Amino acid sequence: MRFVASLAMVLALTIGPRLLVAQTPPNVVIVFADDLAYADIGCFGAQGYQTPHIDRLAKEGRRFTDFYVTQAVCSASRAGLLTGCYPNRIGINGALGPASQIGIHADETTIAETLKTKGYATAIYGKWHLGHLPEFLPQRHGFDDYFGLPYSNDMWPHHPTAKFPDLPLVSGEETVALNPDQTQLTTCYAEHAVKFIETNRDKPFFLYVAHAMPHVPLFVSDKFAGKTKRGLFGDVVEEIDWSVGQILEALERLKLDDRTLVIFTSDNGPWLSYGNHAGSAAPLREGKGTAWDGGVRVPCVARWPGKIPAGTVSSTPWMTIDVLPTVAKLAGAPLPPKRIDGVDASDVLLGSVNGPSPHESLLFYWGNELHAIRNGRWKLHFPHTYRTLDGEPGKDGQPGPYRQEKTELALYDLVEDIGESRNVANEHGDVVRMLTSLADEARKDLGDQLTKQIGKGVREPGRGKE
Ligand code: MG
C-alpha cells in the first residue's frame, strides 16, 4: 500500500506539473474599443500617432486581417461578441438608447457565464450597452464586477443634435455619477482593470475592458492631450494604447503572461460623418452602419505566449461570435444550452496560419435584413439600401450628412479587390448561386426582412418589467 502511494506520488511529481499546466484554464482579457476602425492601430497602418503596446501584442502574437463583427453598430456588435450569437437571433439590434426597455434575455448565456462554470473571476469595465435596466446589467449576466457607462458616451448631453437625460456612470448596479468627466474614463477603466488582475492573480479570470473611446464625443486626459499629429483622435487612440500597456505591465509584473490570452479588437468601423473625429477603414469600403467591410471588418490582434506563434499574420475569416466557443474550449467549459452561431476557432487562434475558416459562410445582417454573405474570398451583397457620406464629412465633433444609396446584387473578390469596388457577379455565376443557396438556408433560420421571411430559430430579447 505504501509502495502504491509512493508510486502515485512519484508519478504526480513527474507528470503532475505538465498536466497541471495543460489543465489550468487560461486567463482571458478582451479589450474592445468603440468605433476604432480597421486602419486605426499602427500594425494595421495608422498614420500620425503610435500604438506600441497594441503593436507589441501583434509582434508577440498574431494579427488577424480578416476578423469581423456581426453588425457594424454598438449594441448588436456587443451582443454577438458576448453571446456567440448573431444579434438578430437574440433580438438585439442597433444601438439601445436611454429609453430602451430591452436587453439580453436572462436565458441567453454570455462569455462570463460560460467561464463562471470553471470558477473564473469575471469583470467588465467600460461600456455595456446590452440593456441598462437593472435586470439586464452585467452582474445579471455572469460578471462579478462592473464599472462603466451602461450605453454610449454620446447618450446624450454631449450629442450635437439631440437632448436626452443625464448620462449615468454605474458601479455594480448603482449610479455613482451623472455626466462624468469623460477625460478620465480611459484612465479609470485601466486602473480598474489592473486592480482586478492584481486581486485575482491566483485564479483564472475573465476581464472585459470595453472602452468608450474613440466613439464621439472624443475625450482625452491631460496625459495625452495635444500629443499627436493626428489631433484629438490620435491622442485618444494613444491613450487607449497606453491603457493596453498598463494591462500588459500588470500581467508581466505578476508573471501571468504565459497563462493569459489577450485579445484586442473593436466593435465596428469608423463613424465617417464625423470626419477628423472618426478613424479610417482604408483600404476598405464605407464604415460604421453598413455591411461593407469598412463597417464590419475590424483590426484584431491576440497574444498568448507559448501558445500563439509570435509575429504571425492570419487572413482566415472568422468573427466575434467565435470568441465564446473558442475560450470555452480553451477553458474546458460547456457551451451555452441554447443554440449559438459561433464555432470553436482555436485552430485559427493557435494553429498554423491561413488554415480554413471554421465557417462555411459569414452573415452580415443590418438589423433583421440580410445584406451580405462571405465565403472564402467571395462576398455577395444582396440588393439593399445603405448610408454613404453626402459630400464633405463633419469636423471637430459635428457630423456631416449621410444620404441613402442602393446596391444591386453584387459579388466581390476580396483577395483581388479588398475595397469591394468591382462587381464580378456576371463572371462568376456559380459563386453567386453557391452564396445565394447558403443565404437561403440562413434565412430559414434567422429570417430576413428584405425577402419577408421570419426565421424559425430567432429568440426574443429580454423585455423590461415596466
Ligand atoms: Mg461602436
Domain with residue 145: its CATH number is 3.40.720.10
Same domain, 312 and 425: no
Ligand 1 centroid to residue 271 C-alpha, Å? 8
CB atoms within 10 A of CB 237: 29
Nearest to 205 by CA among 195, 214, 220: 195
Measured distance CA(438)–CA(382) in Å, rounded? 13
Which residue, of 314, 329, 350, is where some domain finishes?
Answer: 350
Query: Is position 185 within any domain?
Result: yes
Same domain, 59 and 95: yes
Which cell is 180 given? 462624468
Asked whether residue 156 carries a pLDDT value surpassing 80, the answer given is no
pLDDT in tens, 105-149: 999 999 999 999 999 999 999 999 999 999 999 999 999 999 999
Ligand 1 centroid to residue 215 C-alpha, Å? 6
Asked whether residue 401 carries a pLDDT value surpassing 50, the answer given is yes
Query: Mean per-residue pLDDT for 20-32?
Result: 81
Q: Are 280 and 225 in contact (CB under 8 A)?
A: no
Residue 21: predicted pLDDT: 39
Which residue, of 325, 350, 375, is where some domain finishes?
Answer: 350
Query: Is position 18 within any domain?
Result: no
Ligand 1 centroid to residue 239 C-alpha, Å? 17
Query: Is position 282 within any domain?
Result: yes
Q: Are 184 and 225 in contact (CB under 8 A)?
A: no
pLDDT in tens, 262-288: 999 999 999 999 999 999 999 999 999
Q: Which of 105, 129, 371, 381 is the catalytic position?
A: 129
Same domain, 124 and 180: yes
Q: How many domains does the chain have?
A: 2
Query: Is position 163 within any domain?
Result: yes
With cut-offs at 50, 70 and 90, classify the pLDDT of residue 24.
Answer: confident
Residue 204: predicted pLDDT: 98
Residue with cell 462624468: 180
Q: Cis peptide before 283, with omega less than 30 degrees from 0? A: yes
Ligand 1 centroid to residue 440 C-alpha, Å? 29
Residue 290: predicted pLDDT: 98
Residue with cell 483622435: 233
- Least confidently predicted of 9-23, 139-153, 239-253: 9-23
Query: Is position 2 within any domain?
Result: no
Residue 163: predicted pLDDT: 60
With cut-offs at 50, 70 and 90, classify the pLDDT of residue 160.
Answer: low
Which cell is 199 given? 486581486
Phi, psi angle pair for 97, to nearest 5°: -85, 175
Query: Is position 400 within any domain?
Result: yes
pLDDT in tens, 192-237: 999 999 999 999 999 999 999 999 999 999 999 999 999 999 999 9
Ligand 1 centroid to residue 381 C-alpha, Å? 22
Which residue, of 327, 350, 373, is where some domain finishes?
Answer: 350
Q: What percent of the chain has pLDDT over 70?
A: 93
Measured distance CA(107)–CA(102) in Å, rounded? 14
The b-or-e profile of 240-265 (16+ CB within 10 A means b, else e) is: bbbbbbbbbebbeeeebbebbbbbbb
Helix (H) and strand (E) counts for the chain? Answer: 10, 19
Measured distance CA(281)–CA(69) in Å, rounded? 14
CB-side neighbour CA atoms (13 Å) of 66: 23
Q: Which residues pair with 412 in a beta bridge?
A: 379
Residue 354: predicted pLDDT: 83
129 has catalytic annotation: yes
Nearest to 47 by CA among 263, 237, 316: 237
Same domain, 320 and 373: no
Nearest to 261 by CA among 298, 302, 200, 316: 302
- CATH number of the structural domain spanning residue 454: 3.30.1120.10
The b-or-e profile of 223-236 (16+ CB within 10 A means b, else e) is: ebeeebebebbbbb
Range of the domain at 406: 362-463
Q: Which of 53, 74, 141, 384 is the catalytic position?
A: 74
Ligand 1 centroid to residue 426 C-alpha, Å? 35
Same domain, 300 and 369: no
Query: Is position 300 within any domain?
Result: yes
Ligand 1 centroid to residue 35 C-alpha, Å? 4
Same domain, 346 and 382: no
Query: Is position 250 within any domain?
Result: yes
Ligand 1 centroid to residue 367 C-alpha, Å? 15
Residue 12: predicted pLDDT: 45
Same domain, 316 and 381: no
Query: Mean per-residue pLDDT for 19-40?
Result: 85
Ligand 1 centroid to residue 16 C-alpha, Å? 45
Which cell is 409 given? 446584387
Which cell is 422 given? 468591382
Strand order in the sheet with 378-381: 362-366, 369-375, 378-381, 410-413
Same domain, 379 and 317: no
Same domain, 339 and 199: yes
Ligand 1 centroid to residue 203 C-alpha, Å? 31
Residue 113: predicted pLDDT: 98
Same domain, 329 and 370: no
From residue 458, give the alpha-carbon distance in Å to each of 89, 144, 341, 388, 444: 4, 29, 11, 30, 10
In degrees, rounded to 5, the angle at the alpha carbon of residue 152 between the alpha carbons of residues 103 and 46 is 125
With cut-offs at 50, 70 and 90, classify the pLDDT of residue 416.
Answer: very high
pLDDT in tens, 331-383: 999 999 999 999 999 999 999 898 899 999 999 999 999 999 999 999 999 99
Same domain, 185 and 230: yes
Measured distance CA(415)–CA(430) in Å, rounded? 18
Same domain, 340 and 258: yes
Ligand 1 centroid to residue 149 C-alpha, Å? 13
Which cell is 449 given? 426582412
74 has catalytic annotation: yes
DSSP 336: P
With cut-offs at 50, 70 and 90, classify the pLDDT of residue 251.
Answer: very high
Which cell is 318 given? 472568422
Q: Cis peptide before 292, with omega less than 30 degrees from 0? A: no
